[in-house]
Structure 1
Amino acid sequence: MCGIAGSALLNGGRRTTDAVEEACDVMRHRGPDESAVWRDDFVALGIARLRVIGLTGGSQPVRDSTGTVVCVVNGEIYNHHALRALLEKRGRRVRGTSDACVIPELYAEYGDDFVDHLTGMFALALYDTARGRLLLATDRLGKKPLFHSRPGTGGVAFASELRALMRFAGVDSRTDPVAVDQYLSYRVVPAPHTVYRGARKLPPATLMVVDGSGVRQHRYWSPPFDRSLLGTPVPDIVASVDALLRRAVADRLESEVPLGVMLSGGLDSSLVLALARERLPGSLHTFSIGFDTPRFDERREAEAVAGHFRTVHHHRKIQPDDARRISGEILRHMGEPYAFPSAIASWVMYELAGQHVTVVLTGDGSDEIFCGYDRYRRLMAADDGADLPDRYESVLVDGVPTDVKENLYRREFRANLPEPPHNYLRPRFLETSDRAHDLERAMQVDAGFWLSDAQLVKIDRMAMAHSVEPRSPMLDHRLVEYVRRIPAELNLDSHTEKRVLKAVAARYLPPATVRRRKQELAVPLEEWLTRNMRPDITRTLLSEESLERGYFHPDRLREFVTGYGARHAYAIWTLYMLERWHQGSEATRAPTYAGALTGETKGERLP
């Protein structure tokens, strides 16, 4: 696991200066073990590396045997042994010992189709010096991030984190009003947007090519959603899911550094632990968090599962006073507003894990794959005659409600946004088949939006902030491809979610763990905001800087903030994290868009 950064100027010009070393220094937490930069007159590739596989002989950048293909990789390629054998059988010699070393030779053999052969999580940059081509690629589910920009200097700059990308000169750092509007609804900025006008996220399963002809990209993979397993006996489906999940866990156990398991005591992480335990009979560390509020505290359940599988278990209790300190760290590592309070819990879990191990297995991803969210049931119950995008928008928007946003917005800011009512999900639903089941279409939208932009971003940033590599067996693309062929109603009915996964889990876990009521990783936000954090929330949102930010009418914002209660918790947290980001941002000054209070555009980078 690493942080990568680079720049390219392939339109006939020559690169004069770049900020690759500075960008990699910003991401030292992602790669504390070693760093390196390769460059020629046109391209620079840099990496800050966390050594996990190939502790010796596995340094990056990596090259093919001819030295003409150079590559930096963030992630892990789980089938690298099989790929090395395949390439050597075809007469190619792989240089180096790490998993990343197979990629340049794989490209030399298969060209742009090399990504189809990779099993793992990755974001990579590959430069073909002979053909003058730079390739950027992300893994199928979007586990590893990659930000990019076409700065005023021409060419392309890229980095694993947004803060690092903003180190490159010429990146437009003005705030994007549409990104802010989406953030206020969804609590995240969905790809390809970032909060900055001049920066973009490379979506999951995307290959971008930069050469003398320009910049182009395409999606190289999509899950099937074809219901082709309709009529297959359920026991056969359960057996297949079992076998695929066992293989996914086994593939993620290779490590030359200590490995542990994140454990909430719920179904998903407990099942991953059970399958890992079969192959790891020695000392195995597990990690969980808890709260004083009983409704959110899972320590007892986690300790019971840890005891059942004889692990060395560690836990930590999160206090309300932790929230402000950690929220600032969350925003620093995200590089843009992000308002999922569960990131506080994730931060503490990875902070704890980082004191003992370098790699962890997690149960993340199963809710999106196996119909685990309650909102899927609410979507099906909300069939009130509205079309599907509007119905899903009504159950998915849980930041600032649309009517509250419209009341708060200043007229000048509102002029930068699409005319209301506007549903940002509609274009995503247009890419799904209108002949598919409504639930499957919603899950397909989630696969390209919610999973990567809301969930996987949290896992990546919170883990890498503590130099910990997270691995998610539930998101093995081979497992995902199979599960997407299962009719949605087999996974979700009016009484039970994740039916297929529960049937698999029953083979390995105590009955009480399988039957336990689903509990998402969450924090007691309502209690914190209405008690402990209220003074800080009020002080932050009603500060002079906030009131002059230009988004909201000052009097209306003041009225909303002074009168909020527990039912407004997510709206208040979303507003709070936006203002906290502004106050801590290194790249922007507010206001930063046309029509702000000053009537000026201030998009220059800070000195």
Structure 2
Amino acid sequence: MCGIAGTASTLTPDPGLVRRMCDVIVHRGPDGAGYHHDEHAALGMRRLAIIDVATGDQPVRNEDGTVIAVFNGEIYNYAELRDELVARGHRLRGRGDSETLVHLYEEHGDDLVHRLRGMFAFAIWDRTRQRLLLARDRVGKKPLYWRADGSSVHFASELKSLAQDPRMSREIDLVALHHYLTYQYVPAPWSIYEGVQKIPPGHLLVWERGRVAVRRYWQPDRTPGGPVDEREAEERVRELLLESTRIRMVAERPVGAFLSGGIDSSAVVAAMAMQSSERVKTFSIGFEDSRYDERSKARMVAEHYGTDHHEMVVSGDMLDILPRLAWHYDEPFADSSAIPSFYVAQLSRRHVTVALNGDGGDECFGGYQRYALMNQAGRIPMLPRGLAAVSARVGELVTRRSHGRSLPRRLGRLMQFAAEHPSRRYATLMSCFKPEQKIDLYSDRLRERLAETDSRLLLEEVFRRSTARTDLGRILDVDLLTYLPGDLLVKVDIATMANSLEARSPFLDHHLLEWAARLPDRLHVRGGHTKALLKRAVAPWLPPELLAFPKQGFGVPLATWLRGELRDLAHDVLTDDTARGRGLFRPGAVRDLLRRHADGSDHSARLWALMQFELWHRAHAEPSGLVGAEAGCSRTGV
């Protein structure tokens, strides 16, 4: 596990720049650094040593030094790959996973990605062909940014590395901002900066003598897999989860697990405990507000398996961490559960270097309540076009005038749902700011610039491209390819790497993902019940009372904080001269959101999105922001 950065160019690259790019992400790899420099490429990495601690330094090279690689992640099937490569005559110097990449490239070229089981972002430099290959794992566990400037391509694990180059533009990509305000994250391939992109999950980038090409190499296949015996399916879930957990426990450094009290993390802890000769170390975060505190459920599992359990309570007086989070996240990021994620990573790092988690369980097995809602909404017939337009307008009016009352709000949404295609229904459901709310918020300049851009089309395109034959299957694809990598995996990667901790996700093993993707809908959502198959499969592993609890999620008391501990901060950063001077949002609209939230309506998600954009801008996009924030992080020990 580490952070990587580098440049390939038709000219001679600057090795000093690559060193600076690596220095700024030392938190991703505090155990060492490595570099390669030749006439057309400079590669670098920071290492967090987990496997092959003694001999696993990077960059790695083939026998004659013509193929060089830097790598971030873990390849869990590396032992089998090494045996195959040795049998084919390759000589490997170390005992770890990274060295397999250069030899697999020699054997399979770009198709080496299909041989890898794990999480990864890597760069392979082919000196003979003057060709750079960049790749990101199937679901996007590990990040990879890039930009090209004609003669060169630059890449890095974090945006702040690319920003070490003074030639990089700091202009905000207004389309990316528009998408961010819809989804609360900047979706791939956009980044918040003009001219910088993310390699999407399951994609490759090839740079060869100045030319760039990006292509997809993986997406889930949701064509039905034929009749399924439910008892056999339950047994197969247990087998796959035990195996994917076992291979993720391999490490030369201490291993533990995040334990939220939900089904997914509890199942992972159970799978660890059944396969470990030592007590599993578990870590939980709680809140003073009991509505968001799941520690009692986590304790049930910890006591059931006798884990070495550790807890921390996040309170309002711990929110001074926000500027530090803005520096680490590199882009505006408005998932408020980044706060407890950071603290559980910080707590875990005091005891372990690797932490397993339950990420992906909901996307694999249909765990979100919105899946049941959309399944039920699928029974609502599409109205004729003229009637649909009337229903949409009336529904929007009813929703606006519901003043928080449940019945009229639900009636209004039902009328809007009836007017929309299922893909639009889901895109609307997943939106933070709706289009009409953006129109109210934007300045005249921004409104004119973005008038023809509909962020909801991003999700609708994934919905349309899915191989699933049902709307539920298509929605699962949408989340697996957008929300999971754009929000959840970014949140955990940054929170853990900021604390020099490696996160591993058994549910995101592609063998398990691909098997689950072909299951019939009834094994995911049954009536109003979600995650039907997984709950039955892991029921023998868990305390019975745990399965009776409704899904709670990893939420925070954000609405309360924005009326209390964070009220002054929200007002200050959203209404001061600096924020108004950007000319992006109408000051009156921002003040109105603050007022309505203070008066009791819940606008916490929208206010949080605006706050995180403003905090990000002050940490990164302003001339002194990067240096100041970086210095602040060094003072706090990261």
TM-score by length of 1: 0.93
The answer to whether the Cα contact below 8 Å between 1:104 and 1:126 also exists between their aligned partners in 2 is: yes
Q: CA deviation at 1:210?
A: 0.7
Q: 2:345 aligns with which of 339, 350, 360?
A: 350
Once the two structures are overlaid, the 10-residue window that deviates more, 188-197 or 522-531, is 522-531
Q: CA deviation at 1:548?
A: 1.6
For the residues of structure 2 that align with 1:392 and 1:304, how far apart are their CA atoms? 35
The number of aligned residues is: 583
**Residue number in structure 2 paired with 1:599:** none
For the residues of structure 2 that align with 1:282 and 1:430, how far apart are their CA atoms? 47
For the residues of structure 1 that align with 2:284 and 2:441, how far apart are their CA atoms? 39
For the residues of structure 2 that align with 1:389 and 1:528, how far apart are their CA atoms? 34
Q: CA deviation at 1:574?
A: 0.9
**Residue 529 of structure 1 pairs with residue 562 of structure 2:** yes
**Residue number in structure 2 paired with 1:601:** none
1:171-229 Cα distance to aligned partner (Å, 9 max, x none):
22200111111111111010000110121000011111111261112111111111214
Q: 2:465 aligns with which of 431, 449, 456?
A: 431
**Residue 411 of structure 1 pairs with residue 444 of structure 2:** yes
The answer to whether the Cα contact below 8 Å between 2:75 and 2:116 also exists between their aligned partners in 1 is: yes
The answer to whether the Cα contact below 8 Å between 1:172 and 1:198 also exists between their aligned partners in 2 is: yes
Q: CA deviation at 1:422?
A: 5.6
Q: CA deviation at 1:418?
A: 4.2
Counterparts in 2 of 1:586 and 1:18: CA distance versus 1, 3 Å: farther
* Percent identity (aligned): 39
For the residues of structure 2 that align with 1:440 and 1:491, how far apart are their CA atoms? 9
Which amino acid in 2 is paired with 1:257? R
Secondary structure of 1:467's partner? coil
Counterparts in 2 of 1:426 and 1:491: CA distance versus 1, 3 Å: closer
Secondary structure of 2:560's partner? helix
Counterparts in 2 of 1:122 and 1:191: CA distance versus 1, 3 Å: same
Once the two structures are overlaid, the 10-residue window that deviates more, 459-468 or 535-544, is 535-544
1:14-413 matches, within 5 Å, as: 14-16=12-14, 19-151=17-149, 154-212=151-209, 214-229=211-226, 231-323=227-319, 325-382=320-377, 383=380, 384-397=418-431, 399-413=432-446
For the residues of structure 1 that align with 2:67 and 2:256, how far apart are their CA atoms? 35
**Residue number in structure 1 paired with 2:604:** 569
The answer to whether the Cα contact below 8 Å between 1:141 and 1:452 also exists between their aligned partners in 2 is: yes
For the residues of structure 1 that align with 2:71 and 2:96, how far apart are their CA atoms? 11
Counterparts in 2 of 1:551 and 1:503: CA distance versus 1, 3 Å: same
Which amino acid in 1 is paired with 2:9? L
TM-score by length of 2: 0.89
Which amino acid in 2 is paired with 1:217? V
Q: CA deviation at 1:129?
A: 1.0
1:447-462 matches, within 5 Å, as: 447-462=480-495
For the residues of structure 2 that align with 1:577 and 1:32, how far apart are their CA atoms? 28
The answer to whether the Cα contact below 8 Å between 2:76 and 2:248 also exists between their aligned partners in 1 is: yes
The answer to whether the Cα contact below 8 Å between 1:151 and 1:170 also exists between their aligned partners in 2 is: no
Unaligned runs of 5+ in 1: 591-607
Secondary structure of 1:44's partner? strand
The answer to whether the Cα contact below 8 Å between 2:76 and 2:117 also exists between their aligned partners in 1 is: yes
The answer to whether the Cα contact below 8 Å between 1:151 and 1:172 also exists between their aligned partners in 2 is: no
Secondary structure of 1:207's partner? strand
For the residues of structure 2 that align with 1:413 and 1:303, how far apart are their CA atoms? 49
**Residue 7 of structure 1 pairs with residue 7 of structure 2:** yes
Counterparts in 2 of 1:548 and 1:589: CA distance versus 1, 3 Å: farther
The answer to whether the Cα contact below 8 Å between 1:2 and 1:31 also exists between their aligned partners in 2 is: yes
Which amino acid in 2 is paired with 1:228? G
Which amino acid in 2 is paired with 1:541? L
**Residue number in structure 2 paired with 1:585:** 620
Q: CA deviation at 1:16?
A: 4.8
The answer to whether the Cα contact below 8 Å between 2:428 and 2:434 also exists between their aligned partners in 1 is: no
For the residues of structure 2 that align with 1:487 and 1:292, how far apart are their CA atoms? 40
For the residues of structure 1 that align with 2:304 and 2:570, how far apart are their CA atoms? 42
The answer to whether the Cα contact below 8 Å between 1:342 and 1:522 also exists between their aligned partners in 2 is: yes
Which amino acid in 1 is paired with 2:547? V
The answer to whether the Cα contact below 8 Å between 2:130 and 2:209 also exists between their aligned partners in 1 is: yes
1:93-152 Cα distance to aligned partner (Å, 9 max, x none):
222122111111111111111111000000000011122111000011100000000136
Counterparts in 2 of 1:39 and 1:143: CA distance versus 1, 3 Å: same
Once the two structures are overlaid, the 10-residue window that deviates more, 439-448 or 420-429, is 420-429
For the residues of structure 2 that align with 1:422 and 1:256, how far apart are their CA atoms? 44
Q: CA deviation at 1:566?
A: 4.4
Q: CA deviation at 1:589?
A: 8.9
For the residues of structure 1 that align with 2:523 and 2:94, how far apart are their CA atoms? 46
Which amino acid in 1 is paired with 2:334? A
Secondary structure of 1:572's partner? helix
The answer to whether the Cα contact below 8 Å between 2:235 and 2:537 also exists between their aligned partners in 1 is: yes
For the residues of structure 1 that align with 2:623 and 2:439, how far apart are their CA atoms? 25
Q: CA deviation at 1:341?
A: 0.5
Q: Which is richer in helix?
A: 2
The answer to whether the Cα contact below 8 Å between 2:179 and 2:455 also exists between their aligned partners in 1 is: no
For the residues of structure 2 that align with 1:414 and 1:589, how far apart are their CA atoms? 29
Q: 1:497 aligns with which of 530, 540, 544?
A: 530
Counterparts in 2 of 1:587 and 1:191: CA distance versus 1, 3 Å: farther
Unaligned runs of 5+ in 2: 381-417, 626-638
